[in-house]
């Protein structure tokens, strides 16, 4: 089972991914987390990605497709995977389809988290994330500790106002057209309301995937 979690930055994909993964019994792949991990580790991948990420621009498709291919080939992805933050461009959708075909898999559904820009700006302005495990929090000050692993909560550089505006513009230009691509390629596209208590959104997501 391969599910693409889709939506604007701040729509709640990162919050919902582990909850949905636990309910569905599959692992998650969050390309943003992978890239931030590479930056912290000081790898070539991290050095290549950092400038794009700090500005709120997309990292080149070739880099992302390399990450996807490796993750989907791992034994832990045998039962499927929830993709959080991929697919973000039409070439990524095409590349993912090719990788899936090579591995005898397919994308089963695209789950769209629907939310207004105003709500996004408000959410991201108040977001902090755990420096170590990347768990996102809303309304918790930088410097406080993560409930899961005690890591320090920090603001993401790309959650600053200029970067947020750029990320929303990038979404409209490069990411939104991906939905039409999936509809044209006969893949189920399920849209859910992403506003409301976390557990309500999880329930909506699971019911949309089951129907």
Task: Identify which of residues 52 and 137 has a Cβ nearer to ligand AMP in the complex.
Answer: 52
Q: Which of 36, 105, 123, 156 is flagged as catalytic?
A: 156
Q: What is the dihedral of CA 66, 72, 73, 74, to 10 degrees?
A: 110
User: Which residues, numbered 150-209, are part of the site for ligand AMP (CB under 6 A)?
Assistant: 158, 167
Choose, by CB under 6 A, the member of 4, 5, 21, 64 that binds ligand AMP: 64
Task: Identify which of residues 12 and 85 has a Cβ nearer to ligand AMP in the complex.
Answer: 85
Q: Interface with ligand AMP by CB under 6 A: which range of 58-66, 69-77, 102-110, 116-124? A: 58-66
Q: Which DSSP string do the residues of 96-161 spell out, in sequence order? A: HHHHHHHHT--EEEEEEEE--HHHHHHHHHTEEEETTT--EEES--TTSB-TTT-PBEE--GGGSH
Catalytic, 36? Answer: no
Choose, by CB under 6 A, the member of 28, 56, 81, 107 that binds ligand AMP: 56
Task: For residues 5 and 135, give the distance between their C-alpha atoms in angstroms, rounded to a whole number.
Answer: 17
Residues with active-site annotation: 13, 88, 127, 156, 167
């Amino acid at each position: 089972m391969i599910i693409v979690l889709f939506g604007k930055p701040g729509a709640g994909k990162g919050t919902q991914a582990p909850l949905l993964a636990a309910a569905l019994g599959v692992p998650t792949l969050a390309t943003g987390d992978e890239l931030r991990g590479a930056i912290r580790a000081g790898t070539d991948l991290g050095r290549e990605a950092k400038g794009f990420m700090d500005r709120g621009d997309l990292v080149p498709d070739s880099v992302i497709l390399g990450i996807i291919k490796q993750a989907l080939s791992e034994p832990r992805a045998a039962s499927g995977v929830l993709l959080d933050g991929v697919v973000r461009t039409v070439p990524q959708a095409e590349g993912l389809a090719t990788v899936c075909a090579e591995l005898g898999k397919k994308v089963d559904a695209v789950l769209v988290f629907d939310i207004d820009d105003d709500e996004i700006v408000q959410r991201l302005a108040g977001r902090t994330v755990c420096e170590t495990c990347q768990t996102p929090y809303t309304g918790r000050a930088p410097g406080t500790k993560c409930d899961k692993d005690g890591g320090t909560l920090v603001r993401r550089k790309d959650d600053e106002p200029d970067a947020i505006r750029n990320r929303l513009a990038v979404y409209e230009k490069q990411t939104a057209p991906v939905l039409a691509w999936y509809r044209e390629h006969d893949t189920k596209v399920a849209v859910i309301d992403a506003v409301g208590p976390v557990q309500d959104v999880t329930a909506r997501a699971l019911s949309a995937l089951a129907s």
